Copies of this chain bind each other. A is one copy, B any other.
Amino acid sequence: MSLAKWPKIDVTADRTYPVFLGSSLEELGEYLHLQFEDVEHILVISHQIVAELYSERLKKGLLNYRVNLLTVPAGETEKSLERLAQLTTAALRCDADRKTLVIALGGGVIGDLAGFFASVFMRGIRLIQVPTTLLAQVDSSIGGKTAVNHPAGKNILGTFYPPLAVWTDFSTLESLPWEEVENGLAESIKHAIIADRSLFEFFENEEKSIKLREKSIWGEMVTRSSAVKVKIVSQDEREQGVRGLLNLGHSFGHALETEMNYRGVTHGQGVSIGIIAATHLAYAKGLMTSSEIDRVKRLLDTYGLPTVIKGQDPEALLQRMQSDKKNQGGRKILILPKGIGQAIVSKECTDLEILAAWKQVIS
């Protein structure tokens, strides 16, 4: 048997690891068996709902291992130190040890939480990311970022902890609620804006097929979008430079999510509004034309992503940006698109300019 049958793209950073695109949940066990000799115990960490849908398929391939399934409730608020403590207690009850392998089965929240757990449990145990949402497949499962939230801000505590592999089964997207699809589309479109103009055009041209979830088009969408992420994190795993561009829309989006206490706004919606705010800032700086702003707005709108939000206080949102991880020496670091297909890091945005951008997205 060989590994060659599973299509993949390699992340080539500190350590090289594969992102398998389009393999099946049932085959993961076969891969583990081929690749890792000394695995005996596996902890599958997942959401209750995701586990109900997919854990049986996954376990079919894991018959040779001692497997424990730990589930957490859904939701961004689950990414907490309290939940980490509970996972730790549960893992110890299952006799997890340094040789245990963690499978993070789920979306972005599970990937972040289970990834953080794996990175700190007994100072780090093995981790495989098995993303089941579009967002996780095209974005969060790739690149090794893990985190939990803190009342003062999102992803304040975390690690860079690349998985041994990312194992992506497209079939998990078939039943994904459209709201979850939107979360992934926001990140995919973000990838297109910052680094791949032709992917942007793909989203413009394939509206119908994407909305109908045509398998081959979705496969292409996930693969092309993942490729952007793989390329960027391969260049800059630790976010010293170019990786920062992936934060387009996120400083605004995180502020909005935190201000609304993760209720009434999804991550994708936050990012979508954040992209538009950043686009207005870019326009003010002469980096975009007004017709480019319209094109971005139109594309997000096409896929049901919001470009404005009601009833928010721009001053409060600005204040929330104060504890953004990217800030340096009290200065806000923002990502601004430069036309479509490129982006830059800007340290030159004043609070007044940021406030003006917020006002453009508050109705």
Contact = CB atoms under 8 A, between A and B. Distances in A.
Contact of A158 (B40, B123, B329): B123
A97 B328 contact: yes
A157 interface: yes
Interface string A293-335: 0000000000000000000000000000011011111100000
Given A120-B159, A123-B159, A159-B124, A92 B329 contact: no
Contacts of A40: 329
Contacts of A337: none
A41 interface: yes
A157 to B, nearest CB: 5
Interface stretch (A80-88, A191-199, A255-263, A348-356): A80-88
A47 to B, nearest CB: 22
A32 to B, nearest CB: 16
Contact of A123 (B122, B147, B152): B147
Contacts of A150: 85, 88-89, 92
A124 B325 contact: no
B158 A98 contact: no
Contacts of A147: 123
Interface string A137-153: 00000000101001111
A121 interface: yes
A20 interface: no
B89 A325 contact: no
A89 B122 contact: no
Interface string A81-105: 1001100110010010111000000
A176 B297 CA distance: 65
Given A81-B81, A123-B147, A328 B98 contact: yes
A133 interface: no
A157 B120 contact: yes
Contacts of A323: 92
Interface in A142-196: 145, 147, 150-153, 156-160
A325 B151 contact: no
By secondary structure, the A interface counts as mixed
A225 interface: no
Nearest to A85: B81
A226 interface: no
Given A153-B92, A159-B159, A323-B92, A120 B122 contact: no
Interface in A61-113: 81, 84-85, 88-89, 92, 95, 97-99
B152 A122 contact: no
Given A120-B159, A121-B156, A159-B159, A329 B41 contact: yes
A272 interface: no
A151 B85 CA distance: 10
A119 interface: yes
B328 A157 contact: no
Contacts of A97: 325, 327-330
Contacts of A95: 322, 330
A27 B122 CA distance: 35
24 contacts: A41-B329, A81-B81, A81-B85, A85-B150, A88-B150, A88-B157, A89-B152, A92-B153, A92-B156, A97-B327, A97-B329, A98-B328, A99-B328, A120-B157, A120-B158, A120-B159, A121-B156, A122-B157, A122-B325, A123-B145, A123-B158, A123-B160, A123-B325, A124-B159
